[in-house]
Amino acid sequence: EVQLLESGGGLVQPGESLRLSCAASGFTFSTYSMTWVRQAPGKGLEWVSVITGGSKKTYYADSVKGRFTISRDNSKNMLYLQMNSLRAEDTALYYCAKLMPGDSPFDSWGQGTLVTVSS
């Protein structure tokens, strides 16, 4: 059974940094692309970033490009999201998810970790 467990969320001030983690189990982690998706309180889903299985390619939404960095450690089955220069509009529940093979939809999701950016 695929399991994804996010951690690292919390309350930070505007301009600060935070690193989110996602622990994966139940599948061969290194062979799947992974993603972060966020959901602001009471709002819809917003795709944030994708990283391929071997970390050769990364993709970002325009709203986070240049501020967020996605990475992974396949030896530890871990996915990360480094978030710098945080803004109030980055406040959201952040989900990690696993992609189906190829440039594909997201077939398994974690339960999310909440990031609040406020002074």
Partner 1 sequence: DIQMTQSPSTLSASVGERVTITCRASQSISTWLAWYKQKPGKAPSLLIYKASSLESGVPSRFSGSGSGTEFTLTISSLQPDDFATYYCQQYNGYSTWTFGQGTKVEVK
Question: Nearest Cα to 114, choosing from 1, 9, 43?
Answer: 9
Question: Rounded CA gap, 19 and 6, in Å?
Answer: 11
- Nearest Cα to Cα of residue 48 among 107, 96, 7: 96
109 binds partner 1 (CB under 8 A): yes
Q: With respect to partner 1, which residue has the nearer C-beta, 88 or 100? A: 100
Distance separating alpha carbons of residues 63 and 70, to the nearest angstrom = 14
Least distance from partner 1 to the Cβ atom of residue 79, Å:
15
Nearer to partner 1, 14 or 54 (CB): 54
CB of 15 to partner 1, least distance (A): 27
Q: What are phi and psi of 89, to 5 degrees?
A: -75, -5
Dihedral over Cα of 36, 39, 44, 46: its sign: negative
**Residues of this chain, 45-104, that bind partner 1 according to CB under 8 A:** 45-47, 50, 57, 59, 61-62, 95, 100, 103-104
Q: Would you say 32 or 106 has its CB closer to partner 1? A: 106
Where on the chain is the footprint of partner 1 (CB under 8 A)? 35, 37, 44-47, 50, 57, 59, 61-62, 95, 100, 103-107, 109-112
